[in-house]
Amino acid sequence: MGNWVENEGLSIFVVLVWLGLNVFLFWWYYLVYDVPPKFFYTRVLLGRALALARAPAACLNFNCMLILLPVCRNLLSFLRGSSACCSTRIRRQLDRNLTFHKMVAWMIALHTAIHTIAHLFNVEWSVQARVEEKGTLAAALSGLGDKPKESYVNFFRQTIANPVGGLYVAFTYLAGITGVVITLALILIITSSTKTIRRSYFEVFWYTHHLFVIFFIGLVIHGAGRIVRGQTAESLAEHNPEICYKNFSHWGKSEACPIPQFSGNPPMTWKWVVGPMFLYLCERLVRFWRSQQKVVITKVVIHPFKTIELQMMKKGFKMEVGQYIFVKCPAVSKLEWHPFTLTSAPEEDYFSIHVRIVGDWTEGLFNACGCDKQEFQEAWKLPKIAVDGPFGTASEDVFSYETVMLVGAGIGVTPFASVLKSVWYKYCHDATNLKLKKIYFYWLCRDTHAFEWFADLLQSLEAQMQERNNAEFLSYNIYLTGWDETQATHFVVHHEEEKDVITGLKQKTLYGRPNWENEFKTIAGKHPGSRIGVFLCGPEGLADTLNKQSISNSEADPRGVHFIFNKENF
């Protein structure tokens, strides 16, 4: 358990606190509506469904307060960069912002389902009570408010039987209309957020996710109709419901049991969400301000494997290794922003991204930059680009370890391009203050074309390390995972040559996939008593494997070796 906590940072603590608060709020508000005499007569009409509707409503308020905070990227970057308020462990938790965002979203979906189902019963019973024959307590309570100087407890004032009465509530009452709208918005947001939709139809995900604006507007005004009503404090002082309910036919005829008076609960949701909504509004204003700053594309490089490199300049732009930016190209889409890891180093006088052409937007950017044409593209013909960022990621912490494992899969190598470039620049100038002493670099790709745009950097770094008599500083392993047997045979024939026939590096390209258990055990044996950072930019399956290996190969003894797993999330 200790190792698990070590690798997850504070996540296990945060998750337990978050779950505990959800359980507490549900239990507390369930008792608030299920026990006190204030809602005695409301419970006569609605039964247990009253408390079962109100308890998840409180949890919805709490989680809707949280849902926007993990996507306030500028706030998180500010906190992450502030050493005064963020230790390494807290920064690692901030790196899991999107994971927490998704967890909160699923909790919202769960409580929405409970809240909605409970209210379906509440509406049915409220409508039924209005058309019920007189002579019952429910009918007497539903009739309150029909006469002067009476206040009602049953919000449904018409005498329309179900199912028409229920539909009337859903589409004519404020609570009903907003409930339908925000539920539909939530369903669209969640269903369009699946991995398949995000990867194959990003535009669908992007546009439907902005239904959150409608969701929050509906959420804030949902309770304005005050349909949940309880007995007033003044009425409770004169009318004890636990005694008077037996003589409901004599209400108002004796001083002991005057006609009870009721009032609706005031809206509370806005108190929960106004703070995060204000922070998110400030976030969007900052993003808008940044998007208006001029960005100049200084160079476009076409790499193999359907990849282009954009080198850009922007006044006042400052970055750290492994950070990412959001990019908008109005010529392709005036609304869409897409995240890309920076592949340049902080020491360079420009910043760059590598874009793999995998969808409509990237294809549009490819064409807008003139990459589909054979002739040279004039600089003034290049499209306008808007940039928001940079934003911090786990890779920023690479230089806080003495030993690191960098693992990239396919285009996922991009954050480590920035890291390795920065290392190269530091060694070119002065590396005496560099805490990082050893890098184990792993790159997994399906075919050889992906290596071509990155091999030059590795060759430069390899030569630099040899000149400084520190060739052991960088150990890199490049794996081809998509070769067939014929290609593998050709690979073996050339294995004894001085340089690799694919990359031109002294380190030979390997065939297949790494044996991660052996790799971790070997590294642990070479660095006893160390904290080793494991950084991944790659698929979830590989993340699970590396996380498990980090846990299983970390020692229980605090003085032993510990692998600290970090994954890129944006």
Has residue 570 got a pLDDT over 80? Answer: no
Q: What is the predicted pLDDT for the residue at 513? A: 82
Do 468 and 418 share a domain, yes or no? yes
User: What is the rounded distance in angstroms from the CA atom of residue 470 to the CA atom of residue 467?
Assistant: 8
Residue 217 lies in a domain: no
Do 80 and 44 share a domain, yes or no? yes
| 8 A C-beta contact, residue 11 and residue 211 | no
Do 249 and 360 share a domain, yes or no? no
11-24 average pLDDT score: 89
User: What is the rounded distance in angstroms from the CA atom of residue 346 to the CA atom of residue 350?
Assistant: 8
Q: Report pLDDT digits (tens) over 113-149.
A: 999 999 999 999 989 988 887 878 888 888 888 888 7
Do 409 and 492 share a domain, yes or no? yes
Q: What is the predicted pLDDT for the residue at 79? A: 78
| 8 A C-beta contact, residue 215 and residue 178 | no
Percent of the chain with pLDDT over 70: 84
Do 466 and 422 share a domain, yes or no? yes
Roughly what angle, to the nearest 10 degrees, separates helices 212-221 and 269-291?
150
Alpha-carbon separation of residue 492 from 60, 483, 497 (angstroms):
60, 12, 10
**Which residue type is seen at 96?**
R
Do 356 and 456 share a domain, yes or no? no
**Lowest-confidence segment of 230-234, 285-289, 437-441, 468-472 by average pLDDT:** 468-472
User: What is the rounded distance in angstroms from the CA atom of residue 118 to the CA atom of residue 205?
Assistant: 30
| 8 A C-beta contact, residue 67 and residue 104 | yes
Has residue 455 got a pLDDT over 80? Answer: no
Residue 180 lies in a domain: no
**359-365 long-range contacts, Cβ below 8 Å, gap at least 24?**
359/200, 359/202, 360/203, 361/202, 361/203, 361/329, 361/332, 361/333, 361/336, 362/338, 364/329, 364/331, 364/332, 364/333, 365/308, 365/329, 365/332
Q: Are strands 229-231 and 262-264 parallel, antiparallel or unpaired?
A: antiparallel
Residue 197 lies in a domain: no
**Which residue type is seen at 285?**
L
Q: What is the predicted pLDDT for the residue at 482? A: 67
Does 163 sit behind a cis peptide bond, omega within 30 degrees of 0 on the bond before it?
yes
Q: Report pLDDT digits (tens) over 484-520.
A: 545 555 555 555 555 555 555 556 667 778 888 898 8
Ramachandran angles phi, psi of 551, nearest 5°: -70, -50
- Give the DSSP letter string of 162-205: TTHHHHHHHHHSHHHHHHHHHHHHHHHHHHTTSHHHHHH-HHHH
207-222 average pLDDT score: 93
* CATH value at residue 486: 3.40.50.80
For residues 112 and 555, which has the higher predicted lDDT (pLDDT)?
112
Do 272 and 314 share a domain, yes or no? no
Q: Report pLDDT digits (tens) over 248-284.
A: 888 888 888 899 999 988 889 999 999 999 999 999 9
**Given pLDDT bands bounded at 50, 70 and 90, which one contains residue 10?**
very low
Q: What is the predicted pLDDT for the residue at 9? A: 43
Domain boundary among 391, 411, 441: 391
User: What is the rounded distance in angstroms from the CA atom of residue 529 to the CA atom of residue 536?
Assistant: 22
Has residue 287 got a pLDDT over 50? Answer: yes
Burial class from Cβ neighbours inside 10 Å (0-12, 13-18, 19+) for residue 172 reads exposed
Q: Report pLDDT digits (tens) over 29-85.
A: 999 999 999 999 999 999 889 999 999 999 999 999 999 999 888 888 777 765 445
- β-strand partners of 328: 386
Do 512 and 528 share a domain, yes or no? yes
* Rg of the Cα atoms in the chain: 31
Q: What is the token pair recorded at 44?
A: 């006569």
Q: What is the predicted pLDDT for the residue at 265? A: 86
User: What is the rounded distance in angstroms from the CA atom of residue 427 to the CA atom of residue 251?
Assistant: 90
Q: What is the predicted pLDDT for the residue at 2? A: 42
Residue 311 lies in a domain: yes
| 8 A C-beta contact, residue 378 and residue 281 | no
How many domains are contained in the chain? 3
Do 537 and 447 share a domain, yes or no? yes
Domain boundary among 356, 391, 426: 391
Alpha-carbon separation of residue 512 from 441, 504, 505, 509, 546 (angstroms):
16, 19, 18, 10, 17
Has residue 457 got a pLDDT over 70? Answer: no
Average pLDDT, the chain: 82
For residues 473 and 482, which has the higher predicted lDDT (pLDDT)?
473
Q: Report pLDDT digits (tens) over 407-422.
A: 888 766 777 778 888 8
Do 407 and 547 share a domain, yes or no? yes
Q: Report pLDDT digits (tens) over 78-112.
A: 777 654 455 666 666 777 788 889 999 999 999 99
User: What is the rounded distance in angstroms from the CA atom of residue 473 to the CA atom of residue 494?
Assistant: 26
Has residue 553 got a pLDDT over 90? Answer: no
For residues 459 and 519, which has the higher predicted lDDT (pLDDT)?
519
User: What is the rounded distance in angstroms from the CA atom of residue 221 to the CA atom of residue 386?
Assistant: 35
Domain boundary among 244, 259, 287: 287
Residue 194 lies in a domain: no
Do 494 and 538 share a domain, yes or no? yes
Q: What is the token pair recorded at 14?
A: 């945060």
Q: Report pLDDT digits (tens) over 306-335.
A: 788 899 999 888 888 878 899 999 888 888
Residue 113: CB atoms within 10 Å: 13
Percent of the chain with pLDDT over 90: 25
Has residue 483 got a pLDDT over 70? Answer: no
Q: What is the predicted pLDDT for the residue at 27? A: 97
Residue 214 lies in a domain: no
223-248 average pLDDT score: 90
* CATH value at residue 361: 2.40.30.10
Has residue 184 got a pLDDT over 90? Answer: yes
Q: What is the token pair recorded at 287?
A: 């993003």
Residue 513: domain span: 394-567
Do 419 and 375 share a domain, yes or no? no
Residue 119 lies in a domain: yes
Residue 190 lies in a domain: no
